[in-house]
Amino acid sequence: MRKLQDLRDQATYTDTAIPKLYARAISDLVADGADSAYLALFFPKLTSIQKTLYKFRNANTPPPVDDTDDIVLDGEYVLCQDGKFRFILFDSKDDDRIIGFASDTCLSILSRSTAWHVDGTFKSAPGCYKQVFTIHAWFMEQMFACVDRLFELGYSVAPTKLVTDFELATINAFKSQFGLQIIGCHFHFLQAVRRSIDTLGIEENLTRLEDNLK
């Protein structure tokens, strides 16, 4: 079946989550007129092919490394998915190796946006790194992922507002570079409030108060 081969190709050559690729394939088949009986007979369930799809993907993916010195960036890994345009922006190649990624389109969007959102995440960082830091820009009522090194490439930027979490290093860096308005991220603020409620035992006190008011 052609759709199953397409699913294998997408699992091999893209980084989209396998369950999401499978759901998309099913949706396409239904849109083409396939009913549940046809799918049950002729299209395998996700549980029966998921391991195989991951094998296809892993066979086409370089093995993970434990040290940043072992990272090799060349060929398709420095280009956008179309294979034509640059994607790697810089590589410090020092002891604290920092690698930046952004297409020229992303940089153009970032330079034309006055509202940026930034976030540093630890959970999605590769094994040999501690953090992935992303810069996003509001442009034409949409959010785009971008990054910087704009000045060296001739872009002019004038952000006036930055939405970020409450990491002082991030806040101070952007303030000193751009002198812009800093706005705390509502999601991260609520996370901090939730952690404080759990740590200080406030929830138990609120529950008792509610019970007394009934």
**37 and 105 share a domain?**
no
Q: Is residue 20 part of a domain?
A: yes
Instruction: Identify which of 48, 186, 52, 54 has the alpha carbon closest to the alpha carbon of residue 117.
Output: 186
**43 and 81 share a domain?**
no
Tell me which of 112, 128, 159 is where a domain ends: 159
**What is d(CA 2, CA 12) in angstroms, rounded to the nearest whole number?**
15
Q: Is residue 151 part of a domain?
A: yes
Q: Is residue 208 part of a domain?
A: no
- Taking only the tens place, the pLDDT of each residue in 138-187 is 776 665 555 545 555 666 667 788 888 888 888 888 887 777 888 888 88
**88 and 153 share a domain?**
yes
Residues 137 and 116: beta-carbon distance below 8 Å: yes
Number of domains in the chain: 2
**97 and 51 share a domain?**
no
Query: For position 148, what pLDDT does the model report?
Result: 45
Q: What is the mean pLDDT of residues 197-204?
A: 81
Length of the chain: 214
Query: For position 142, what pLDDT does the model report?
Result: 62
Q: Residue 151's domain spans which residues?
A: 75-159
Q: Is residue 14 part of a domain?
A: yes
This prediction's pTM: 0.52
* Residue 51 three-state SS: helix
